[in-house]
Structure 1
Amino acid sequence: MRMNAFSLAVKSLRHRPLSTALNLLLMAVGVAMMTFLLAASEQLKNNAMRDVQGIDLVVGAKGSPLQLILSSVYHVDIPTGNIPLATQAQLASNRMVRKAIPLALGDSYRGFRIVGTTGDYITHYNGVIATGKLFDSPMQAVFGADAAERVGAGLGMQFAGAHGLAQGGEQHADAPFTVVGILKRTGTVLDRLVLTPVESVWRVHEVEHGIDVNDKEEKAAMDEERELTALLVQYASPLAAVSLPRFINSQGELQAAQPAFESARLFRMLGVGVDVLRGVAAFVLLAAALSLFVALYNALEERRTDLAILRTLGAPPARLFMLLLAEGLLLALVGAALGWAIGHIAVEVLGQVLSRDQNLYLSGWIVTPDEIWLLPVAACVGLLASLLPAIRAYRTDIAATLSR
């Protein structure tokens, strides 16, 4: 009986191609919007939390704490300024600090940021060499997997960085880097960076200003003026979370920003827009349910004679009830499946667009746990929309209908 109901439902839907297509489209749009929002927001949040994992504090120049996090952890904003090199030694000697990883920013290569740092930064993100080796002297560079793939970097290749953190800056042709290693993909911010010793960043700008690094007096003068962009700090004890930020912020030229707090604040701000879009998607699903109800109800009125004839041929009322429910369920599930596929295609397209900017990465092949409820919701929408027409079909009065 159930098989017959679905077979009849399919034939009935095929008999009304325009109405069927419009209802499928409306259901698909609502589910696609919800799928896109769930998949994209979950991936962005997971990627963001993966990048800040293990970083308790970021120390940088005074300014916006969120800007400091975006520039030094996610590498999607300009830095707030520079801090004295002596800050690193000061924090490294503090008993509340387990590790302070230096960052020196300012240049890029074909849109990918050149980050002056130490091997600890690569280790922090579980970076592993795919080919070559890690840098061990100035002007050596190690490429993240995505950066290497996009620019076609190979071992021994020489390149010149450009001033600024975006494409189009003035090139430092007199201070070329040499590629000595390429990292395996980690799924973190490391993949889209070009890494080099901090000394490389200093040397590039010394050459640019015509400073002779072999002159001891000039080098000593430069050493006193050395600066870093930021320090990524790990706490040595829980007590540090209370006292260390306050101690750093009390110093005139430094600020301490907590990645977990600033990231949560960022997602709260973004969450308002996401919630609005989810509301729009829910409204579209409601509109799809209403459209489905109207379509099935009108179809029932048009087929009352057909249904009465089925009754006279021996079809029990339950079969007519199942027929209408099957139509609503088929429309909802097929529309949901179509919308789910469209939503993931949209995520993949957005991911490809964002990857060209080297900022954010999304994949349409990742299914998030929150998407599981979309199919049951779509099924409920279809069943609820078809329930009243199904009840009316169940109560069809054969004699009254055929006498009209």
Structure 2
Amino acid sequence: MNGWKYICNNLRYRSFLSALTVFAVMITVALFVLLLMSKDSVEHGAQKGYGPFELVIGADGSDSQLILNTFYRVGVPTGNIPLELLSIIEKSEYTDEAFGMTTGDNYNGYPIVGISPAYFATRYENRHLEEGHLYAALGEVTIGYAVAKELGVQVGDQFIGAHGLVEHVDLDHESHEQDVEDTHNSFHYKVVGILPKLNTADDRTVFTRLENAWAIHNDEDSTKEITSIIVKPASLVGIQSMKQQIDAMDNVQAVYSSKAVADVLNVVDTGSQLLMIVMSICVLLAMAALLLALTASIQERKRDVGLLRLIGKSKVYILSTLIAEGLALAVIGLVAGIVLGHIAGAVISDSLFIQTGVQLQAFQIATYEWLLVVVTLSLAILASLGPTLKVYRTDALTLFRN
């Protein structure tokens, strides 16, 4: 009998056990693929998150906290710095471009960031808006792609913001009861534009003029402050000199964007490694299920093996046929799991992006996906080898004795 036909007949004969084994491998592989895609997406998003801005200036505090708040809209700022520092940085010979930034308010949980409209040309070059135009007048805002999609906001809508970075306030309707202390009822924003999908934290941000922060909080006559300054250096040589000058000032720090992001990624990698360990245990459990299925299958086929030996089939033929049966189950589960993982990634991609800002690249091969294939197939061969060798070593004649 043809070897492949023999294998297919055996798999069909034990269809329930075969399906159960394939299912275990498939689910495990699919979860592993999702984990690998998520890891790649987080790292990719973190690395491109700060764009050309190699230096961030802010109040003294944690480097990571300053970077996370400035570029990724995570956590709270380290404090405020004087506005006049922005003029000093802009005039520096080491600066190509610099932008002041204010944070501290939100709209339905999405941060409202004050920054010059020129930021977008520097960061994203010639990207066109999805709709409308960039803000210009006081009170105008341009909103990120995810904000518009999640909240259903359109150009022309008006809303009031809330103080804080995570406060959720229902928009738009003065008749809705709101906490007077947390909302800015006297100041209305008007949406004039919607950004295209940028795959950065800017998709989850509401942008407006820098001056709005002072107008809202009635700080026009007081000493003006900003949250941070992002700097695109004229050259990487001069960036160190600028950092040294800033660090010499009181209550101010300058942070290298790339170094701080690398520190954050190290923390993320530690968490990913723990998840990898858990998923590796799941893979081993799936292989254990494969081992049990093969052991049960081969035990039932002891006489088949003995008959094959008696009619003169070679050792290589018998062993390869039995191992191929286990490998076939693993390959089916592996392929199905990879396909399922990528389909699941595509299905949840938009929702995950809107909720977390992580953009899954569902139709790209993850960095270590090849390693998952190699490990799964290797474990499948090892799982098949044990029961196969055990039954082959049994004396063929004893299998037919009563």
Give runs of aligned pairs for residues 29-48 of structure 1, distance below 5 A.
29-48=27-46
- Shift of residue 365 of structure 1? 4.5
Whole-angstrom distance in 1 between the partners of 2:118 and 2:198: 15
- Shift of residue 54 of structure 1? 1.2
- Shift of residue 320 of structure 1? 2.5
- Shift of residue 182 of structure 1? 1.4
Normalization by structure 1: what TM-score?
0.86
Does 2:140 align with 1:140?
yes
Give runs of aligned pairs for residues 69-218 of structure 1, distance below 5 A.
69-126=67-124, 127-168=127-168, 170-206=182-218
Whole-angstrom distance in 2 between the partners of 1:186 and 1:275: 29
Match of 1:6 among 1, 4, 7: 4
Normalization by structure 2: what TM-score?
0.86
The 1:8/1:135 distance shift into structure 2, 3 A limit, reads same
2:383 alignment counterpart: 385
Amino acid at match of 2:238: A
- Mapped contact 2:305–2:392 kept (Cα < 8 A): no
Amino acid at match of 1:181: G
Q: Secondary structure at the match of 1:369?
A: coil
Which structure 2 residue ranges, 5 or more long, are not aligned? 170-181
Whole-angstrom distance in 2 between the partners of 1:115 and 1:356: 18
Whole-angstrom distance in 1 between the partners of 2:297 and 2:347: 38
Amino acid at match of 1:229: T
- Shift of residue 36 of structure 1? 2.8
1:282 alignment counterpart: 280
- Mapped contact 2:132–2:192 kept (Cα < 8 A): yes
Deviations 1:306-329 (A, max 9, x none): 233345567554442232122111
1:216 alignment counterpart: none
- Shift of residue 252 of structure 1? 1.0
- Mapped contact 2:140–2:190 kept (Cα < 8 A): yes
Question: How many residues of Structure 1 are paired with residues of Structure 2 in the alignment?
Answer: 388
Amino acid at match of 2:162: A
Identity of aligned residues (%): 31
Whole-angstrom distance in 2 between the partners of 1:159 and 1:151: 12
Whole-angstrom distance in 2 between the partners of 1:116 and 1:29: 45
Whole-angstrom distance in 1 between the partners of 2:279 and 2:154: 46
User: Structure 1 residues 62-71 or 231-240, which shifts more?
Assistant: 231-240
Deviations 1:336-364 (A, max 9, x none): 23433454466567756644545444454
Amino acid at match of 2:208: T
Match of 2:401 among 397, 400, 403: 403
Whole-angstrom distance in 2 between the partners of 1:39 and 1:397: 49
- Mapped contact 2:40–2:367 kept (Cα < 8 A): no
Whole-angstrom distance in 1 between the partners of 2:12 and 2:41: 38
Amino acid at match of 2:263: R
- Shift of residue 178 of structure 1? 1.5
Deviations 1:243-276 (A, max 9, x none): 2222212211211122211111111122222212
- Mapped contact 1:99–1:233 kept (Cα < 8 A): yes
Amino acid at match of 1:152: G
Give runs of aligned pairs for residues 266-345 of structure 1, distance below 5 A.
266-311=264-309, 316-341=314-339, 343-344=341-342
Amino acid at match of 1:163: H
Q: Secondary structure at the match of 2:165?
A: coil
RMSD: 2.7
2:174 alignment counterpart: none
Amino acid at match of 1:202: W
- Mapped contact 2:142–2:195 kept (Cα < 8 A): yes
Q: Secondary structure at the match of 1:108?
A: strand
Whole-angstrom distance in 1 between the partners of 2:284 and 2:152: 49
Which structure 1 residue ranges, 5 or more long, are not aligned? 210-218
User: Structure 1 residues 159-168 or 9-18, which shifts more?
Assistant: 9-18
User: Structure 1 residues 227-236 or 33-42, which shifts more?
Assistant: 33-42
- Mapped contact 1:318–1:394 kept (Cα < 8 A): no
Q: Secondary structure at the match of 1:198?
A: coil
- Shift of residue 383 of structure 1? 2.0
The 1:167/1:359 distance shift into structure 2, 3 A limit, reads farther
